[in-house]
Structure 1
Amino acid sequence: MKKVLAFATCSVLALVIAQPASAQDQNAKEDAAASQSEKAAPSERANGEILVTATKVVTNVQDVPIAITAVTADALEDRQVKTFADLGSIVPNATFQKSGAIYGAGVSVTIRGIGLVDTQFSQEPAVAYYIDDIYYPFVFGSNFDLLDLDHVEVLRGPQGTLFGRNAISGAVNMVSKKASFDDLSAYVDMKVGSRNRLDLRAGVNLPISENLAVNLSMVSKRQQGYMKILDFSCQMHLNGTPELAGTFPYASSKTSFAGGVQQPKSCVMDHAGGEDVRAARATMRWEPASNIELNVSGDYSYANNEGAADKVTDINMQLTAGHLRGLDSRGAPYGDYTGVIVDSGPGVNKNLITLFDHYSVPGTPFRFDQRFLTDSIYSTYETNCDPLPNGYTIPGNGYYNGSIFRGGNCWGRRVPVENWGLNGKLRVGITDEIEALAIVGMRRISTQFGANYDGTPLVDAYIYHEDDMHYWTGELRLTGQHGWVDWTAGLFYYDGKATERGQPQNTAAGTQQFHDVFYYPKAKAGYLNVTLRPYELFGFAEGLSFNGGIRRSTDKKFVDYTAQFDASAPGSTVFTPSSSSTYFQLPIKNTRWDWKLGADYKITDKIMVYGSASTGYRLPGFNTRIFQAGQIEQQYPTALTSYEIGFKADLFDRRLRLNGDAFWMAYSMRNGSFSGREPRYDPSSTALVIKPGLETLIPDGPADTAWEGKFTNCRPYNAATDGAPNGTSVGIECIGRSWNYPVSGGDPIKGFELEATLEPIDYLVANFSVGYTDRGGTLGRPLTFPDWTLNGGVQYKFEVPALTGTLTPRLDWFWTGKIAYSTNYPEFDEPAHSVFNARLTYENDRDEYEVAAGVTNLFDKQYFIQRTIFTRLGLSVDLGQPGEPRSWYLSFSKRF
């Protein structure tokens, strides 16, 4: 596969280099023909101009010496990209993944192997988001609806001088449509489809006068999720194994087999993975003079989506159910099960045993075992609700001890997110060559969500969050275009506040935590970017340009953190915090310079080559999800330098567009993370007393690094070799945690990207892209990102006079390479997979309406878009989020 792609890439490069030699004398004729073609049918040419603002100056995407994918709203619709989370499928070396249920509402974006999974405010993204030049600082709440979008720009590689803050692997710039002064128009779009899908969109553009216009739009989307939530007891009876249900109650009378009522035919009680969204947007554009333009917009959205469609893929049944297992090839207790079942012993969690045994019947123990693994990746018994009320007591259970501060966590299976913002942009032409732009915006987002993640109707661990953030950002920008030099200088300011209130319940560990995090980020920066053209000044080196930039950034984060562990006496109604509770204030400050140097050369008007070196950074974060005191730890900042060469070419009268690049990124510093286990302390004690158990503490750390043996880990207690328990390191109980350590240097990240669009004849369009990223192996196998990403599509527009319009069938293919999720256990890799989408569109030119039918995941491929391997951290289960199964839709669009 790699040899074929490498050969194809070399062939393409050879074609690009050869093209000017064979056609240099024909440039004028080609340009004239292309210009004539554009005038004749600009909307029919696949490789038309897309104007982007990635360099802070409106420029044709083919003239920007940056690895950038720019896609229009129409192209996104054709390729069935319906949300921000779908965008990664068409961008090489990028993944956009909807966050798992335990992370709430968000999209994890990774570009060139660097990204972020956690949505909480303690973590910093690697990709900067901008919506109409307004900075969006968090992963949380980032599953944007593509409402009234003109186009989207995805910039790959560090963008330290252009976008600055947390743009170490790239930036996403979404550009909305402006109100038009001369277009009185409206539109209505409707979609119906699988799982009761109903989407409605409408908008109107109102020219008020020759220099004032307003645009109004709205969207309503609703679709039932593709993950079925089953009533566990109902399903056990329906399966013919009622003894496996123990005494666990039915969820409702509709799914009950009790009392001689009519037996239910289905045990489905709810769904996960669906959406329910309402949004509206209003914009005003005013141009009182030819050199002054003001754009003001406001938007509001409310989403009450179902939680993410998480699926338990494996259970550590020694921990959860006392099913003893042997050692694996690495000597860890994750081998085959022996068939022996016990109530206690090495690696067996007493709290989980007593919790589930609470529903046992004589002769059939009720255990957290394989009975909770359904036979479909699209079903689960997870209810995201603790069925036991607060104050409940289970004898011998270290969590349910009768305290009113424990149990009863049930916050529903929806994730409400309220999101609204205002922004304004004032453009003033100071002279014919110099322009000023002032940008100001504010936004507020709030949500609450609760999630369990063990795949059972009981609770191993429960995450609850109430998150709120608001911020405002401002930017003052001056641009100049003087023929021989283009320049952009600016000042940037950002000020925000975020609040996170959490109530993590850890039944297995016997802890109940209440935490409050107040997060106050501020940032300011000044930047200058310059492009020089020596030919315009000195009359030589026509087509050669030099570009460079510099940015000075100062970032501050003040964190006020409280994590109180419940140490209230059993049955108590008065809260008593444990002495192991954590209180700290953490000021984080980072000041740095970023720079970029580059050059590009236009071999012809249609072919450009370029090269650049640039830097980028990501701010340090800290771990907010802790199991006990002492696990709060600040992470280390990440910084790197990137080197990139590339080309952009429009060939054969713009019937073939090829854009390609190769990159090499070297870290100067990054945060390393080592996952292991440490002694568990007794949270109910007034002193930090290590809990007795059946494990032994050993030194550990990342192999072949300076940190090898610097951290700790635990293995099963062996009396023959460990001796008697000593209460400190031998014969203890352990709990999972992570350690952070600084890494300088190490393996670079390298790879390439190639994008192509081909229109061999009128109306036949094919597109293709490939990306390859090699992240090295200094810290073990790279995780959560594929080495290879490919996608392609083809469509043909048929003229059908009898229908007074056109028919356009389209087929798209998306291929994702193998993804590793555990450094040492390849069996948890997600295999490479392909997904196909199909669409047929009818356009009526006379009456200006469109009807389309589409299918996503045409061949109903089953795969996981992401996985989380918890069992190798000594926890109970592994999770995966399956991709959406085959779905269909019908749409109708009308323009007025």
Structure 2
Amino acid sequence: MMDRLRLRSRTSFLVASVSLIAAASPAAAQDLAQQAARPGAAQDTSGQAEQEILVTAQFREQRLQDTPLAITAVPAELLEARSQESLVEVANQAPNVTLRQQGASFGPSIGASIRGIGQFDFNPAYEPGVGLYIDDVYYSSLTGANFELLDLERIEILRGPQGTLQGRNSVGGAIRLITRRPDADGGGFVEATYGSRNHLALRGGATFTITDGLYARISGAARQQEGFVDRIDYGCANPGEGIPATRSGDNCRISRHGGVGYTAIRGALRYNPGPVVDVMLSADYTRDHRTIAPEVLVATQAPGNTLNINVPAYDDRFICGRYCNYSAFEQAPGVWNGPAAPGFPLVGTQGSDESTFEGWGVALNMDFGLTDWAQLTSISAYREWNLDFFADDDLSPATIGLGENRLDYWFWSQEVRVNMEVMDRLDLTVGGYYSDQRTTYFTFQDIRYAAIPLQFQGNDPVNADNWAVFGTAIWNPIDPLTITGGLRYTEEHKDYTFFRRQQDGVTLNPFLGMLDGVKGVYDGNRTDYRISIDYRFSPEVLVYATTATGFKGGGIGPRPFNPEQARGFDPEVLTSYEIGLKTDLFDRRLRFNAAAFYSEYDGIQLALLSCPQFGGPGPCALPQNAGDAHIQGLEFEVFARPIDGLQIDGSLSWIDFEYQCVNIQVVRPLNPGEVDECSTDPEILAGLGERPPALPEWKWSWGVQYEIPFQGGTLTPRFDMAFNGATAGGVTSGGFSLPSFHIANARLTWRDADDDWQVALEVTNLFEEYYFLTSFDLRAAGAGFVKAQPGRPREWAVTVTRRF
């Protein structure tokens, strides 16, 4: 019965979506001759019709409008026009895409979600769910992934499972950053910025010809800015309450969270003597030293198990305000007063409110023309980084939770593929991929809200490796019709070894020592497929239909607080059905794309923050396969140049998420004689929130700019507005939710007649909207707080650019 209902729901949704997309396409479109493509072209500054954007999402260069995938392609010129400087900002204009800088408890990492599927925890035990790629090199970590948009040609955001094209952790989609390649054209730029809160930035890049066929490019960026959430000394600002002050006088501010301190450099050496050989060696280095992510306390409740002495009562007096907190980064020594282990000594702990990320990588991309019909591509890469940060979770002088975190990471990968034009109407790609990854996660946690004292040192090695073979065929049996098929087989391994000692790193922790040396192992394999049919009704109109699968790897829960929580979790898998429309209309002055999708999402991985069913009360941060869901949605994108000089772009997305069943033991303990299963009982379904975190039902954006002749050059005003709907803050029902918000940005750009000089004035968050990007609700775990990360307030900046 349930299968029939699911089939009926899926069929009805797809029929309605086909009708909607068909109605959206014009009844008649003007004939348009195919124009020659220009690599990297983004905007036609002459004021004529929009030129081509080329993408390489299917391992070969194709027009954006010829690729049967839901792709948001953003050229470098548009990134600049929108005042977008980092990867997370690009998501504002991409339908059903959420990228967020994470809160201080997760270090300098991002959370990424496409069509409701992704990951928001930096821990190396988890897989991203959204694949991140730089020049086809996979970036396997969410840590350090908020890349400065330095020297890019374009960004491609692929929505929907990319299991056959991009691999195991692109179940939600993939984000591909394509950098500028050095070539014989040369050229470069220098750019300087000054703005709000002493915002200082320098960027630049230049290409050099060493000899015929050998080119080099070097680029770099440095950015500094003060933070916008004040860290206040509580005792100084509130004298007489008995909490000691560390500062005196009228200035009670210790530091400002949310600062920027970023330096990056990238170099590329390219050997391209002709069309047969193209070899590029690239290397990059990044150092990111800044104050931690800005957070404010938004709700408190008395922790039920804060049982050590000398603890200030935890209540709303520690809610500082819209842009401030009272974090102390210090917990005093004492003795435990609880019924479990009374008198147990607690050492004092302290830390810093700054984080430091330092990383480098090297990649070798090689393309060789084997014959006039076959090309070999090899991509080799190595990356390494180190990260240091502390987290004072309760944002107060109360001694509830303080943690030190240090991660050391390296990753090596090799991909080889062969593109073949077997016949005039058949293109094939076959290839293989291998990666090896290791992370060592050192931490010292001082958690004082549990039923037992938890001060322990971890130094956990995490190993992960996987290999895959894949193939894609693109067949064009008749001119208007193309059939694409893909297949990928993946095997993966992960092991996590727990290290649970006292602060000296030698003595076993008396409460968690039974976990010391325990090694959890996960092994799995998976075959993914993709079948797509597209039909070009005219040079202006393409319609496609696709079914595709993808998966996110399983693993071992990384934060057990008792042996019962040292549990594994299986992969989550997705099967998606999609139809889409791509159009170029009115002599390419209007580009309109639409997509409708329906997905079956099974084995959803969720992190439980309360799980008495697994070992009793107390802390919990346990990933489990929670159940199955259906997801359906609509996406629209438009780009228009109705008259010369005027440009309008916009997007709109809607998504519906509905749990079909939830595993009983994820919500509550099993009753005597009860067997764990994925239940459709309404009471079990109600145990989880209606929607996962960071999934707004509605999301839209629009932007407009107009280029005006001015003083021998041009003056271009631009305005952008983006809306994000309300989202859940946690996985269970009853948690803190994030309200919807609007963000408006404005920019005024002057260019000289030769486009050698440019001056731009930008204002972001023009209307001073106060909103939250992320939240962390630990009330269910007994910690008694909800903290949230506010978005950046209104800021202005002036940028001067010289191109040569």
- Whether these two folds match at TM > 0.5 is yes
Q: 1:698 corresponds to which residue?
A: none
Asked if residue 578 in structure 1 is aligned to residue 530 in structure 2, the reply is no
Measure how far apart 1:393 and its partner are. Answer: 3.3
Measure how far apart 1:847 and its partner are. Answer: 6.5
Query: Partner letter of residue 281 of structure 2?
Result: V
Asked if residue 196 in structure 1 is aligned to residue 191 in structure 2, the reply is no
Q: 1:100 corresponds to which residue?
A: 103
- Where does 1:31-46 land on structure 2 (aligned, <5 Å)? 44-45=47-48
Deviates more, 1:215-224 or 1:779-788: 779-788
**Whole-Å separation in 2 of the counterparts to 1:45 and 1:556:** 53
Conserved in 1, the CA contact under 8 Å of 2:307 and 2:448? no
Judging changes above 3 Å, is the alpha-carbon distance between structure 1 residues 187 and 851 closer, same or farther for their aligned structure 2 residues?
A: same
Conserved in 1, the CA contact under 8 Å of 2:231 and 2:257? yes
| Partner of residue 449 from structure 1, selected from 368, 371, 389 | 389
Report the RMSD for the aligned CA atoms in angstroms.
2.7
**Whole-Å separation in 2 of the counterparts to 1:143 and 1:601:** 37
**Whole-Å separation in 2 of the counterparts to 1:400 and 1:564:** 20
Measure how far apart 1:91 and its partner are. Answer: 0.9
Judging changes above 3 Å, is the alpha-carbon distance between structure 1 residues 738 and 521 closer, same or farther for their aligned structure 2 residues?
A: closer
State the TM-score, normalizing by the size of structure 2.
0.89
Measure how far apart 1:598 and its partner are. Answer: 1.0
Asked if residue 377 in structure 1 is aligned to residue 328 in structure 2, the reply is no
Measure how far apart 1:758 and its partner are. Answer: 1.2
Judging changes above 3 Å, is the alpha-carbon distance between structure 1 residues 276 and 580 closer, same or farther for their aligned structure 2 residues?
A: closer
Judging changes above 3 Å, is the alpha-carbon distance between structure 1 residues 879 and 292 closer, same or farther for their aligned structure 2 residues?
A: same
Measure how far apart 1:62 and its partner are. Answer: 1.1
Query: Partner letter of residue 798 of structure 1?
Result: I
**Whole-Å separation in 2 of the counterparts to 1:285 and 1:465:** 39
Q: 1:556 corresponds to which residue?
A: 493
State the TM-score, normalizing by the size of structure 1.
0.80
Measure how far apart 1:284 and its partner are. Answer: 0.8
Conserved in 1, the CA contact under 8 Å of 2:360 and 2:383? yes
Asked if residue 514 in structure 1 is aligned to residue 457 in structure 2, the reply is yes
Q: 1:791 corresponds to which residue?
A: 701
Q: 1:78 corresponds to which residue?
A: 81
**Whole-Å separation in 2 of the counterparts to 1:864 and 1:113:** 19
Measure how far apart 1:473 and its partner are. Answer: 0.7
Query: Partner letter of residue 893 of structure 1?
Result: T
Conserved in 2, the CA contact under 8 Å of 1:393 and 1:400? no
The runs of 5 or more residues in structure 2 that have no matched partner are 1-14, 661-684
- Where does 1:174-213 land on structure 2 (aligned, <5 Å)? 174-183=177-186, 185-213=187-215
Asked if residue 315 in structure 1 is aligned to residue 300 in structure 2, the reply is yes
Asked if residue 473 in structure 1 is aligned to residue 388 in structure 2, the reply is no
- Where does 1:823-834 land on structure 2 (aligned, <5 Å)? 828-834=736-742
Aligned residue pairs: how many? 754
Judging changes above 3 Å, is the alpha-carbon distance between structure 1 residues 891 and 470 closer, same or farther for their aligned structure 2 residues?
A: same
| Partner of residue 406 from structure 1, selected from 343, 347, 367 | 347
Q: Write out per-residue CA displacement over residues 696-723 of structure 1, whole angstroms, 9 at most, x where no aligned residue.
A: xxxxxxxxxxxxxxx3798xxxxxxxxx
Whose strand proportion is higher, 1 or 2? 2
Deviates more, 1:581-590 or 1:438-447: 581-590
| Partner of residue 287 from structure 1, selected from 264, 272, 277 | 272
Asked if residue 349 in structure 1 is aligned to residue 300 in structure 2, the reply is no
Q: Write out per-residue CA displacement over residues 843-869 of structure 1, whole angstroms, 9 at most, x where no aligned residue.
A: 112461100011111010001011122
Q: 2:792 corresponds to which residue?
A: 884
| Partner of residue 217 from structure 1, selected from 200, 216, 219 | 219
**Whole-Å separation in 2 of the counterparts to 1:202 and 1:774:** 43
Conserved in 1, the CA contact under 8 Å of 2:336 and 2:344? no
Q: 1:662 corresponds to which residue?
A: 596
Measure how far apart 1:350 and its partner are. Answer: 2.5
Asked if residue 501 in structure 1 is aligned to residue 442 in structure 2, the reply is yes
Conserved in 2, the CA contact under 8 Å of 1:312 and 1:453? no
Q: 2:232 corresponds to which residue?
A: 230
Query: Partner letter of residue 430 of structure 2?
Result: A
Judging changes above 3 Å, is the alpha-carbon distance between structure 1 residues 313 and 579 closer, same or farther for their aligned structure 2 residues?
A: closer
| Partner of residue 748 from structure 1, selected from 626, 630, 635 | 630
Query: Partner letter of residue 566 of structure 2?
Result: I
Measure how far apart 1:487 and its partner are. Answer: 1.4
Measure how far apart 1:39 and its partner are. Answer: 14
Helix, strand or coil: the match of 1:641? strand
Asked if residue 122 in structure 1 is aligned to residue 62 in structure 2, the reply is no
| Partner of residue 271 from structure 1, selected from 233, 256, 271 | 256
- Where does 1:723-802 land on structure 2 (aligned, <5 Å)? 734-737=617-620, 742=625, 746-778=628-660, 779=685, 780=688, 781-784=690-693, 785-800=695-710
**Whole-Å separation in 1 of the counterparts to 2:652 and 2:297:** 32
**Whole-Å separation in 1 of the counterparts to 2:564 and 2:252:** 44
Q: 1:807 corresponds to which residue?
A: 715
Helix, strand or coil: the match of 1:76? helix
**Whole-Å separation in 2 of the counterparts to 1:27 and 1:640:** 38
Q: 1:343 corresponds to which residue?
A: none
Aligned-residue identity in percent: 30
Judging changes above 3 Å, is the alpha-carbon distance between structure 1 residues 601 and 142 closer, same or farther for their aligned structure 2 residues?
A: same
The runs of 5 or more residues in structure 1 that have no matched partner are 1-5, 237-241, 257-262, 320-346, 357-365, 536-541, 679-710, 715-733
Whose helix proportion is higher, 1 or 2? 1
Q: 1:139 corresponds to which residue?
A: 142
Conserved in 2, the CA contact under 8 Å of 1:557 and 1:589? yes
Q: Write out per-residue CA displacement over residues 366-405 of structure 1, whole angstroms, 9 at most, x where no aligned residue.
A: 522222111x22101113x2153xxx335848999685x7
Q: 2:359 corresponds to which residue?
A: 419
**Whole-Å separation in 1 of the counterparts to 2:102 and 2:164:** 29
**Whole-Å separation in 2 of the counterparts to 1:220 and 1:672:** 37
| Partner of residue 645 from structure 1, selected from 558, 569, 579 | 579
Q: Write out per-residue CA displacement over residues 445-492 of structure 1, whole angstroms, 9 at most, x where no aligned residue.
A: 111111111121343111211101111111111102343011111111
Conserved in 2, the CA contact under 8 Å of 1:50 and 1:61? yes
Asked if residue 14 in structure 1 is aligned to residue 5 in structure 2, the reply is no
Conserved in 1, the CA contact under 8 Å of 2:103 and 2:775? no
